[in-house]
Structure formats: structure tokens, C-alpha cells
């Protein structure tokens, strides 16, 4: 089980999935989870990507298996999180990769691509906010004084259970899936996630967008047009795919549509087909 080490000693867990042809020097795709999630949430994506690209999934500090050496008192800073990504790439021997970030994972990716342009081949954003709108902070508080107060008091699992119906998923998803999602969120302790909300309430990645030189793909639902407009106004090389839904968690609700869009974007950049091998 590979671990890189952050600049301040936190063990950063990652997983490599590689089912590419052994004689090919296949390019890399990095999958970065978002708020409260971990590497296991990408399980549907791995079979769709790992035959074409070498795939690296990483746990953000404080989440999943990246907890050794992490202290809640340290809090979270985007500069640290961006540097963590680079430390993982260095540890895995990856010079550059296609970066895929869901929700906050994409928010982080905007900064990584701007600050470390030589490490990012393409940037792929899945429902990634440039800035988190204030109305969402109130919605996620669920009657408590703040979003973080609810998480600290009741934990991540209960918070997920009570917010799953707030435009996260379409109404057609089965209850078993919702239970799986809530259980997975519950693997993160409430106080850690509560501290993370402090970062979520203050970030604004607009200042990094103009510095992104890699081609950018934005995959967004119809309900996130304000985020797409910020990207259109500031990103030089932008393509957008809209998923016809109001729900936010499109990478889990519509994994095939999202993964196909990312696969096409990355493969086009590399100049190879993603269908049947042509010899």
C-alpha cells in the first residue's frame, strides 16, 4: 500500500490501477475525490479508464487512509493540498498526468494546474465549484448555526443521510446506493470534516483560472451554470459537457457519461483512439 509524505509529515495514501498493455508507456490519469470522500468512491471509474491509462487515486490529507500524522488543529489550506498532489506524483514517479477532480477535488485541481503547469496534461472538472455560493453554506447547516456545527455534533454519516435529497442525486437512485454513500461518508470523522468546511467557506479559485495552460474540460449539471460562466470568462482552453440533470453528484450518478467525456478529452490530447485497438 503506497504512501507519499507531505511536507509536514502526513502520510498520503494512494492506489495505482493499471490494466494497460505492458509494452505501452501509457499516460497517467489522477483521480482526486472531493468533500469527505476517499479513493473507494471512484470504483465505477477504474474499469472504464484503467485499460487506456494508468490510474492513480489519492486520499486527500485527513481523509480515507491519509490520516497518519494529520492533526485537526492544523486545519486545511489549499497551498498544502496542492503541494500534497505534487508530492504524490513525485513519489509515484509521474512527471505529468491528466487530472480529474470531482467537486472540491476539481477546485483543488484548478490551483494545481495553475501553480504546477508542467505536471498537468489536461484538467478535467466534474461539478467543481470555482467558488462555493453562500446559499449552500446555509442549506448544508440543516438548522444548526453552521455547516460545521452540524458535522461536529452529529457526524458525517448523518449529515450525508440528511443532505442526499438536496439535489445531490436524482430521485431514481436506489436506497441501497444512498446507504452505501452515507456509510462511505461516515468513514470521515465529523470534527475533521467540520474543520474542512472552514476552507470551503472562504476559497475563491478565480485568481488561478487565467494561469491554467492545460486544456480544461468542465463536466457540469444544468444547475451549475454560474460555475461554468466563471470558467468561460477566465480559462483559455475550455470545453464544456453538460449532463442533463439538476443533481450535483454527476460522477457517481452518471459515471459512464462523465468517464466517457474525460476519456475522450484525455485521449484526444494524447492522440490515440479509445475504441478497439488499431494496429
Whether the pLDDT of residue 75 is over 70: the answer is yes
- Those residues whose C-beta lies under 8 Å from the C-beta of residue 178, and which sit 6 or more positions away, are 161, 164, 169
The predicted model gives 125-132 an average pLDDT of 96
Q: Please say whether the beta carbons of 116 and 86 come within 8 A.
A: yes
Whether the pLDDT of residue 133 is over 80: the answer is yes
- Residues 265 and 251: their CA atoms lie apart, in Å, by 16
- Residues 238 and 98: their CA atoms lie apart, in Å, by 15
Residue 35: predicted pLDDT: 96
Residue in the structure block whose three cell numbers are 440528511? 162
Helices (H) and strands (E) in the chain, counts: 12, 8
- Residues 53 and 122: their CA atoms lie apart, in Å, by 13
Whole-number mean pLDDT of the chain?
A: 95
The predicted model gives 60-78 an average pLDDT of 96
Q: Give the confidence band of 276 by pLDDT, cuts at 50, 70, 90.
A: low
State pLDDT tens for residues 231-241.
Answer: 999 999 999 99
- Cβ atoms within 10 Å of 138's Cβ, excluding its own: 12
Give the DSSP letter of residue 76. Answer: -
Residue 138: predicted pLDDT: 86
State pLDDT tens for residues 168-203.
Answer: 999 999 999 999 999 999 999 999 999 999 999 999
Whether the pLDDT of residue 272 is over 90: the answer is no
Q: Give the confidence band of 274 by pLDDT, cuts at 50, 70, 90.
A: confident
State pLDDT tens for residues 8-53.
Answer: 999 999 999 999 999 999 999 999 999 999 999 999 999 999 999 9
State pLDDT tens for residues 82-94.
Answer: 999 999 999 999 9
Give the three cell numbers for residue 115.
501553480
Q: Give the confidence band of 147 by pLDDT, cuts at 50, 70, 90.
A: very high
Burial (0-12, 13-18, 19+ Cβ within 10 Å), 144: middle
Whether the pLDDT of residue 277 is over 70: the answer is no
Residue 279: predicted pLDDT: 44
Whether the pLDDT of residue 278 is over 50: the answer is no
Q: Give the confidence band of 273 by pLDDT, cuts at 50, 70, 90.
A: confident
Amino acid at each position: 500500500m503506497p504512501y507519499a509524505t507531505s511536507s509536514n509529515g502526513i502520510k498520503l495514501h494512494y492506489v495505482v490501477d493499471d490494466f494497460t498493455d505492458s509494452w505501452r508507456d501509457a499516460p497517467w490519469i489522477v483521480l482526486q475525490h472531493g468533500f469527505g470522500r476517499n479513493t473507494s468512491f471512484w470504483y465505477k471509474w477504474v474499469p472504464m479508464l484503467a485499460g487506456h491509462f494508468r490510474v492513480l487515486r489519492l486520499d486527500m490529507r485527513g481523509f480515507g487512509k491519509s490520516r497518519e500524522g494529520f492533526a485537526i488543529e492544523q486545519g486545511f489550506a489549499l497551498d498544502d493540498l496542492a503541494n500534497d498532489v505534487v508530492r504524490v506524483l513525485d513519489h509515484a514517479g509521474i512527471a505529468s498526468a491528466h487530472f480529474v477532480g470531482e467537486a472540491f477535488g476539481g477546485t483543488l485541481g484548478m490551483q494545481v494546474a495553475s501553480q504546477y503547469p508542467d505536471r498537468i496534461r489536461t484538467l478535467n472538472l466534474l461539478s467543481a465549484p470555482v467558488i462555493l455560493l453562500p446559499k449552500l453554506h446555509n442549506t448544508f447547516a440543516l438548522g444548526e448555526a453552521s455547516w460545521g456545527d452540524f458535522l461536529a455534533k452529529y457526524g458525517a454519516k448523518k449529515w450525508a443521510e440528511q443532505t442526499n435529497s438536496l439535489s445531490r442525486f436524482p430521485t431514481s437512485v436506489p436506497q441501497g446506493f444512498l446507504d452505501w454513500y452515507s456509510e462511505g461518508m461516515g468513514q470521515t470523522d465529523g470534527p475533521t470534516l467540520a474543520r474542512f468546511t472552514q476552507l470551503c467557506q472562504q476559497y475563491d479559485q478565480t485568481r488561478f483560472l487565467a494561469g491554467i495552460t492545460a486544456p480544461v474540460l468542465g463536466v457540469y449539471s444544468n444547475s451549475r451554470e454560474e460555475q461554468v460562466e466563471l470558467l468561460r470568462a477566465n480559462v483559455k482552453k475550455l470545453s464544456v459537457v453538460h449532463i442533463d440533470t439538476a443533481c450535483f453528484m454527476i460522477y457517481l450518478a452518471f459515471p459512464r457519461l462523465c468517464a466517457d467525456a474525460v476519456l475522450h478529452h484525455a485521449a484526444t490530447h494524447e492522440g490515440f483512439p479509445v475504441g478497439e485497438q488499431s494496429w
